[in-house]
């Protein structure tokens, strides 16, 4: 399992960010919008941090309430992190459960902690990113701590352009 790179609160609930040592919180600046995908950039104590994010077009499940849902691909050049895939689901996952991410018939099993899910390692991050850029639709299935199964469907339209912008924003290429 991978180590958490930044606190969970980094992107969520209004896209507030982590604070650098002895600095005020910084709000990410949107650098581009590509169909349903947005690209943001900010700086932490290690340099630029950039991420692309999307919300599902369709959310299915029988839940009483649920917060906002976000899918992320993040670059942390100052921490040697690239293509870090994560999901914030808007509810707490069932402890020990897995999330299934499927793009065009290719399936990935993500681990969960609290409201977050991550791929297993950078090899899987890179594989998910390749599929996202090549695919047209992504489905994410998870189970809440109340046992509710949810299925979120994302359009991948614009994801390739968003990824190019993400790379330019953080890597300068």
The domain that holds 74 is classified in CATH as 2.60.40.1880
- Count of other CB atoms within 10 angstroms of residue 20: 14
How many distinct structural domains can be found in the chain? Answer: 1
Q: Could you tell me if residue 127 is inside a domain?
A: yes
- Cα–chain center distance at 167: 15
Q: What is the pLDDT along the chain (173 residues), one digit of tens a residue?
A: 444 333 333 343 233 333 333 345 578 999 999 999 999 999 888 888 999 999 999 999 988 889 999 999 999 887 778 999 999 999 999 999 999 999 999 999 999 999 999 999 999 999 999 999 999 999 999 999 999 999 999 999 999 999 999 999 887 65
Which structural domain, as residue segments, surrounds residue 161? Answer: 8-171
Q: Could you tell me if residue 1 is inside a domain?
A: no
Q: pTM here?
A: 0.84
Q: Could you tell me if residue 77 is inside a domain?
A: yes
């Amino acid at each position: 399992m991978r180590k958490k790179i930044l606190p969970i609160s980094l992107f969520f609930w209004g896209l507030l960010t982590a604070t650098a040592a002895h600095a005020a919180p910084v709000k990410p600046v949107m650098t581009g919008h590509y169909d349903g995908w947005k690209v943001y950039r900010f700086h932490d104590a290690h340099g630029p941090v950039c991420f692309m994010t999307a919300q599902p077009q369709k959310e299915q499940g029988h839940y009483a309430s649920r917060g906002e849902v976000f899918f992320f691909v993040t670059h942390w050049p100052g921490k040697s992190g690239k293509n870090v895939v994560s999901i914030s689901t808007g509810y707490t996952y069932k402890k020990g459960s897995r999330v299934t991410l499927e793009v065009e018939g290719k399936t990935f099993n993500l681990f969960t902690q609290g409201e977050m899910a991550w791929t297993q390692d950078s090899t899987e991050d890179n594989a998910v990113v390749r599929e996202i850029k090549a695919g047209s639709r992504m489905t994410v299935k998870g189970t809440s701590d109340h046992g509710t199964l949810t299925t979120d469907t994302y359009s991948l339209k614009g994801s390739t352009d968003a990824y190019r912008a993400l790379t330019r924003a953080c890597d300068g290429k």
